[in-house]
Structures are given as C-alpha cells and as structure tokens.
C-alpha cells in the first residue's frame, strides 16, 4: 500500500498544558494551583477520557479522536539518555543542548538525535534513504516542503522539493538553464565559457527546478478537490499531491508544513484560542479532503512542537519548557500512549520551579513508529536514529500506526 506522511510543525513551542488539560485528581489539583488565571475550566464536551480534555478550540480533533483516528504520545521530547529528575538536578547525565532555544530544539527534533546535532542529515532524509529504492521512486522527489528548506529532509544523495502554498511557485518565463549559465558566466567575467563550476551548478539547479515544476504541475492537474479550507490552505495542495502519486509513481512520500505563532509569553489564552482554532480547521479540512480523495488510510499526520511550556505562568503567558504532547492522526491505534505526566511541581516528572515536563518518551520512540509504518526494517533503525541504542525499541510504543501495541507502553521506571 502507498504510504504518505504529512508533518505539521507548530513553531514557537505550543503549551501542552493548554492543548491537553487534566480533569480530576492530583493532576487537576496541581494544575489549578500552578496555573492561576491561565487555568481552563473542565470541558466535558472535549473530553478524551475521565482524566484529560482537549483545548475547547479543537472540535475537529475531538471528533477525529472519538473516531479512533488520533494517537496522543504524551510528554515526549529530546533526551540523550533516560533521565530522572534527580539526575537532571545534579547534571549527572548528558542533556540536550540549549533546551530553551527555539532554533536549537527545532534542529534537535529535525536531526532526530539529541546526542549530536552537528550532523549533515535529518531523520526524514535518513528514513527515506533507508527504504528500498522501489518504495521511494517516482517522477519527482519523495520529500516536499511548503516551509522552505528543513534540516529533517536532508540526506546524502536525496533532494527535497520546495513548493508554494498552491503548488509550484511561478518562475520567470524567459529563463532557461543555458540563459542562467551565461548570465552567471558574465557576472564572473568569464563570458564565452560555460565551464565555471559555480555557474554550471547554478544552471543545473535551475534546470532541475524547471523540470520538477513541469512534473508537479502535471501531477496536480490530475486531481480536483472542492473541499473548502478556512485556514492552512497549503494542506489542500498536500492532499492533491498525495492523491496524484497514483500517477507520479511515488509509493512513499513525506511533506513538511509549518504553522507558527505559538511563542506565548503574554496573552496566552487569546493567542492559543486563535492559533489552535486555525490548526483545528486545517486538520478537519485536510481529513475531509483525504476522505473525498480516497487516501485516508494511506496518509498519517504527525503534529509536534519544538518544546512544551512551563506549567507555572509568566503573568499572562508561559515560558519555554521541555516535554510536550505529539499527535499522530490517521490509520493509528487511537488513544493516549506513553506515560501520563505527574504535574505536581515536586513530582518526578517536573523540573525547575517553573514546572517544565521532563520527557518520559524520547523522540526516537515516537519517530520510530513513523519509520516502521513507512517501511524501514528494524535492522535499519539505528541508521535512521543513531542514538536509538540508548532507548531500545523493545521498551517503546509498539505499533501506533496500523498495528497493535507490543508492550505496556510505559517506557521505563
């Protein structure tokens, strides 16, 4: 079966405690005591179960969850090794670098290895490279982005393809590759010669882009989708692109999209109500497109942010955190997975006085689920995730995408 992955990165650090809020017991008491004016009332209409509810802006996500189409991986984030609160406080184990930095934590997620973020490849690129060529073939790249170049999509020998929100970005009609080469030669004062390596490389890149534009435009023209989108309209292009793979021959494909604006240091309740409503509308429209196009069982959506935020507010906002919740939507084992966090500020899952969640599920265990579903064999997983030996697959989540759980889902004590 054809399998496609849509990654939606929520830039800025979405507040996990607003995305999912405790409803009862010790966690509810701890949440109310720490949150102050940012605390949300219980939302039975948006309940996941007796213990947790979604943000009330997430009506589409609530419906998908109740259909069994959403798996929540709770309290996930980058780790170098399994880490306890005591080890964190004593700094007795290595920790991810620059935990409060947007750019560093974004890169850490995209590289897929918190132990070494200096590498020149990302986890998606390595995943695609680890697939048999028969699965990643097609008339254009198996990796696309409507968010510009992304570290996750880099791998030796593979090129990602950049798209605009509606598909191919318009090009200057009068340019062809040989014209560009000659222009570059003139700039370099080498007129009459087409051998300068920089000019030739530039010209070849222009030619590849022109060739890809023709192929992608032709593929998109084979698919019509009348689904209305009130936000994230680029996701309609992704749905059409995935559907067109029946023509373009891509058996495996990944698309990277970004919704930013989650850095809520002030006015958090207002900001999140707006941003999560936009996200929710885009999620709902995309899955209506997928159903209309008949690809709903071929596509999985991964939604994550570079970090969560502090449980304790900063006046009307929150500070940068660490662990957060990630979502997998599609042909999944629906429900809550991983280890639910203990929100007591003095408990084992919180560090710092501001209340930062110490991840209990390493990002490797979340991303391995995606790689396994895409077709990467277990024997190749350490090539895709170089630090995986610190977190054995046997203690992981075990088949969230298209499978059944293989373990109790508690990663380690």
pLDDT tens by residue, 196-219: 676 666 666 666 767 777 788 888
Q: Kindly state whether residue 176 falls inside one of the protein's structural domains.
A: no
Q: Kindly state whether residue 254 falls inside one of the protein's structural domains.
A: yes
- In which element (H, E) is residue 29 found? helix 25-35
pLDDT in tens, 284-343: 999 999 999 999 999 999 999 999 999 999 989 999 999 999 999 999 999 999 999 999
CATH number at residue 71: 3.40.720
Q: How confident is the model at residue 409 (pLDDT cuts 50, 70, 90)?
A: very low
Q: Kindly state whether residue 29 falls inside one of the protein's structural domains.
A: yes
Q: What does each C-alpha distance from 256 to 7, 149, 235, 360, 402 come to in angstroms? A: 5, 9, 10, 26, 21
Q: Kindly state whether residue 197 falls inside one of the protein's structural domains.
A: no
Confidence at residue 330, expressed as pLDDT on a 0 to 100 scale = 96
Rounded CA-CA distance 138/149 in Å is 21
- In DSSP notation, 149-183 reads --GGG-BTTB--EE-BTTBSPP--TT--HHHHHHH
Q: Kindly state whether residue 390 falls inside one of the protein's structural domains.
A: yes
Angle at 392 between CA 85 and CA 83, to 5 degrees: 10
- Please state, as a whole number, how many other Cβ atoms lie within 10 Å of the Cβ of residue 303: 23
Strand 361-362 relative to strand 70-77, pairing: parallel
Q: Kindly state whether residue 175 falls inside one of the protein's structural domains.
A: no
- Which of 326, 336, 404, 403 shows the shortest CA–CA distance to 362? 326
pLDDT above 90: residue 185: no
Confidence at residue 319, expressed as pLDDT on a 0 to 100 scale = 97
Domain count, the chain: 1
**210 Cβ contact partners less than 8 Å away, ≥ 6 residues apart:** 171, 176, 177
Confidence at residue 197, expressed as pLDDT on a 0 to 100 scale = 73
Q: Kindly state whether residue 59 falls inside one of the protein's structural domains.
A: yes
Residue-number span of the structural domain to which 384 is assigned: 3-167+233-395
Q: Kindly state whether residue 386 falls inside one of the protein's structural domains.
A: yes
Q: How confident is the model at residue 413 (pLDDT cuts 50, 70, 90)?
A: very low
pLDDT in tens, 386-402: 999 999 877 677 667 76
Q: How confident is the model at residue 349 (pLDDT cuts 50, 70, 90)?
A: very high
Lowest mean pLDDT among 98-112, 136-150, 254-268, 345-359: 136-150
**8 vs 185, residue with greater confidence:** 8
């Amino acid at each position: 079966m054809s399998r496609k992955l849509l990654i939606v990165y929520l830039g800025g650090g979405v507040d996990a405690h607003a995305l999912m809020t405790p409803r009862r017991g010790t966690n509810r008491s701890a949440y109310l005591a720490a949150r102050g004016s940012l605390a949300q009332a219980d939302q039975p209409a948006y309940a996941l179960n007796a213990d947790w509810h979604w943000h009330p802006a997430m009506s589409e996500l609530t419906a998908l969850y109740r259909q069994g189409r959403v798996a929540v991986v709770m309290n996930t984030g980058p780790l170098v090794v399994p880490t306890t609160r005591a080890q964190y406080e004593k700094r007795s184990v290595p920790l991810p670098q620059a935990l409060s930095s947007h750019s560093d934590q974004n890169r850490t997620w995209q590289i897929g290895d918190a132990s070494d973020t200096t590498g020149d490849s990302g986890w998606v690129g390595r995943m695609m490279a680890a697939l048999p060529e028969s699965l990643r073939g097609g008339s254009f790249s198996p990796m696309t982005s409507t968010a510009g170049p992304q570290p996750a999509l880099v791998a030796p020998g593979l090129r990602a393809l950049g798209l605009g929100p509606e598909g191919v970005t318009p090009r200057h009609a009068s340019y062809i590759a040989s014209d560009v080469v000659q222009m570059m030669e003139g700039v370099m004062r080498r007129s009459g010669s087409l051998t300068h390596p920089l000019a030739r490389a530039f010209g070849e890149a222009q030619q590849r882009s022109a060739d890809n534009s023709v192929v992608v435009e032709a593929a998109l023209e084979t698919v019509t989708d009348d689904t209305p989108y009130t936000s994230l309209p680029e996701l309609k292009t992704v749905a059409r692109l995935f559907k067109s793979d029946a023509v373009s021959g891509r058996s495996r494909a990944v698309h990277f999209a970004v919704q930013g604006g989650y850095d809520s240091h002030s006015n958090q309740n207002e900001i999140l109500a707006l941003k999560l409503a936009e996200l929710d509308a885009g999620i709902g429209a995309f899955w209506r497109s997928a159903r209309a196009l008949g690809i709903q069982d071929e596509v999985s959506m991964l939604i994550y942010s570079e970090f969560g935020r502090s449980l304790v507010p900063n006046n009307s906002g929150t500070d940068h955190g660490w662990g957060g919740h990630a979502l997998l939507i599609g042909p999944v084992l629906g429900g809550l997975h991983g280890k639910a966090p203990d929100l007591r500020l003095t408990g084992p899952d919180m560090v710092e006085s501001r209340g930062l969640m110490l991840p209990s599920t390493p990002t490797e265990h979340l991303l391995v689920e995606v790689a396994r579903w895409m077709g990467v064999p277990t024997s190749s997983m350490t090539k895709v995730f170089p630090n995986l030996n610190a977190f054995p697959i046997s203690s992981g989540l075990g088949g969230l995408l298209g499978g059944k759980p293989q373990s109790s889902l508690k990663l380690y004590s």
